[in-house]
Amino acid sequence: MNWIKRLRLPPERKVLLKSLDPDDNLGFKDRTAAEPVFQKNLARLEDLQYRLFAEGRRSLLVVLQAMDAAGKDGAIRKVFSAFNPQGCRVTPFKAPTAEELSHDFLWRIHRAAPARGEVAVFNRSHYEDVLVVRVRGLAPKEVWERRYEQINRFESLLMENGTTVVKLFLHISKEEQRQRLEARLNDPARRWKFSRGDLDERRYWADYQAAYESAFHHCGTANAPWYVIPANRKWVRNMAISSLLVQILEDMKIRMPEPRENLKGITSIQ
């Protein structure tokens, strides 16, 4: 799928989010046309995760970042449902606790990194410490600016020890966010997800866009690139993420392990 290449941001280059279309349908006419691809991807992901778990030598870390209401939870439900929960852990990173604040900003992140054979999904991540911390002035500039290189070293450490790092930004427009927030407010079953803080954060839209662009520039490396997923259409988002993960896991060339002991001569079980 050639369109996967254009989701990948070039390493260490400046990219303007306004130049990327959150309505991009990646060449699919509609949801009906994309659905067979999505279902095939889910079946393939189930098999690839089983192989990764059985091999037990490497792991996969998927970082999900986005503006509010961009669909991180929905992507986790729809795409990562293909994985066996025994080998897949989802960690949501909310405002740090007092204990977490008493350590360096990567302490709580490293604790949630995947073990060998596992897939880990971060719903928000260490990047909050160069995003919300920057936008809301929670730390001085000289502090959060140092974190770009600290993040790069941390991700290099993970990769050097067998973890493939995949970083996804779910890209929606400001108008799409407005519609989704209104839908939450007007739906009694979803109103619990709405807060006044959502409206407060929305006032900083431009600042967050600039903060994301800086994160892409400073922390998009050849081995741990950023992918921008068009997310105004949920079916495009799900199909794109699942296709990308299939390609990444296939590129890992995972092999089923040999039996742990010599099974020669065993032909039947009584």
Give DSSP secondary structure letters for 45-82.
Answer: HHHHHHHHHHH-S-EEEEEEEESTTSSHHHHHHHHGGG
Residue 258 confidence (pLDDT): 82
Residue 264: what pLDDT? 76
Note the pLDDT tens digit of each residue in 105-154: 999 999 999 999 999 999 999 999 999 999 999 999 999 999 999 999 99
CB atoms within 10 A of CB 3: 15
* Domains of the chain: residue spans and CATH: 3-251 (3.40.50.300)
User: What are the residue ranges in the chain where pLDDT is below 70?
Assistant: 270
For position 262, what pLDDT does the model report?
78
Strand order of the sheet with strand 88-92? Answer: 88-92, 119-123, 59-66, 163-171, 226-230
How far from the centroid of its chain's Cα atoms is residue 1's Cα?
20
- The whole-number pLDDT of residue 13 equals 84
Give the pLDDT score at 193.
Answer: 87
Which pLDDT belongs to residue 269?
75
Q: Residues of the chain with pLDDT > 70: what percent?
A: 99
Q: What is the CA radius of gyration of the chain?
A: 20
The pLDDT value given to residue 175:
98
Rounded Cα gap, residues 270 and 267, in angstroms: 10
pLDDT of residue 201: 92
Quick check: 246 and 48 in contact, CB under 8 A?
yes
Q: What is the pLDDT of residue 42?
A: 98
Q: Whose CA is closest to 235, among 61, 97, 29?
A: 29
Letter for the amino acid at 132? V
Q: 88-92 and 119-123: which strand pairing?
A: parallel
Question: What's the pLDDT score for residue 46?
Answer: 98
Which among 55, 80, 113, 112 has a CA at the least distance from the CA of 252?
A: 55
Rounded-to-integer distance, Cα 138 and Cα 211, Å: 14
d(CA 45, CA 242) in angstroms, rounded, equals: 8
